[in-house]
Structure 1
């Protein structure tokens, strides 16, 4: 079952690149510029008339897969299913980033409520995965990012 779910995540990543790449104005792929563009895409979707944040499961699946793949590519992380059956990206420091949760939060609250997938990406890649956040907090167990 997990193998099928991982295949679906990869299919979602391919779908995001194939469908969103031609719409973007960046070299679209598993990179920070694409994450920034997707953040704007989410905000544009939120601004559409009739947008319903409760009817976004498909978009959350595709964009969460893409965000997780970007984080994994930048950190050397890998997909892992948590004890509560939630998929996340296991980072080199042992913590887990949960991209689907973050995408859903941005769809619901938007960047005006501090829900930025680009900020999430930067923190996961630049601070959590490298251990810099742990060092700044005085050591201890790695946080789980959401």
Structure 2
């Protein structure tokens, strides 16, 4: 089952690049600029009069696959099933859950703090690099 699901994720990533790349104004691929563009795409979809948050499973699958692949490409992470949810296992051991984040942004919007760009930035620039752990160690109990 895992191999089939991983193929589904890879197919979704290809679909996102093929379909969204021509619509964007960036060099669309597994990169920060494309994640930023996709965040705007989600917000544009949310603002449509016919937007139905109950009918977004397909978009969540495609965009979550794209977001996770972008995080994996930037960090050297890999897809990993944790409990019953697919996520990206980062090199330092944490798991990022892109499908959950995409669904939250569709449901609540970036204005509520549910930003896939912020998710990407934190995963890539802070968690995967160990800066988040360093910050915790330097501000936790016993820090001077």
TM-score, normalised with respect to structure 1: 0.93
Q: Is 1:26 aligned with 2:11?
A: no
Structure with the larger helix share: 2
Aligned CA RMSD, in angstroms, stands at: 0.8
The CA distance in 1 between the partners of 2:99 and 2:105, in whole Å, is 10
Q: Per-residue deviation at 1:52?
A: 1.0
The structure with the largest alpha-carbon Rg is: 2
Q: Secondary structure at the match of 1:81?
A: strand
What is the CA-CA distance between 1:55 and the residue it aligns to? 1.0
- Secondary structure of the residue aligned to 1:28 is coil
Aligned to 1:143: none
Please name the residue that 1:69 is paired with.
69
Cα distance between partner residues in 1 of 2:66 and 2:110: 19
| 1-structure distance, mates of 2:119, 2:96 | 9
Show structure 1 runs of 4+ deviating over 2 A.
none
CA–CA distance in structure 2, aligned partners of residues 131 and 67 of structure 1: 20
Match of residue 94 from structure 1:
93
1:50 CA drift (Å): 1.8
Query: Which secondary structure does the structure 2 equivalent of 1:13 belong to?
Result: helix
**Structure 1 residues 28-47: Cα deviation after superposition (integer angstroms, max 9, x where no partner):** 00000000000000000000
TM alignment of 1:15-54, pairs within 5 A = 15-54=15-54
SS at match of 1:122: helix
Residue deviations 1:68-108 (CA, integer Å, cap 9, x gap): 0000000000000012x100000001000000000000000
Unaligned runs of 5+ in 2: 139-144
Question: Within 2, Cα distance between the matches of 1:130 and 1:111?
Answer: 25
TM, length-normalised to structure 2: 0.94
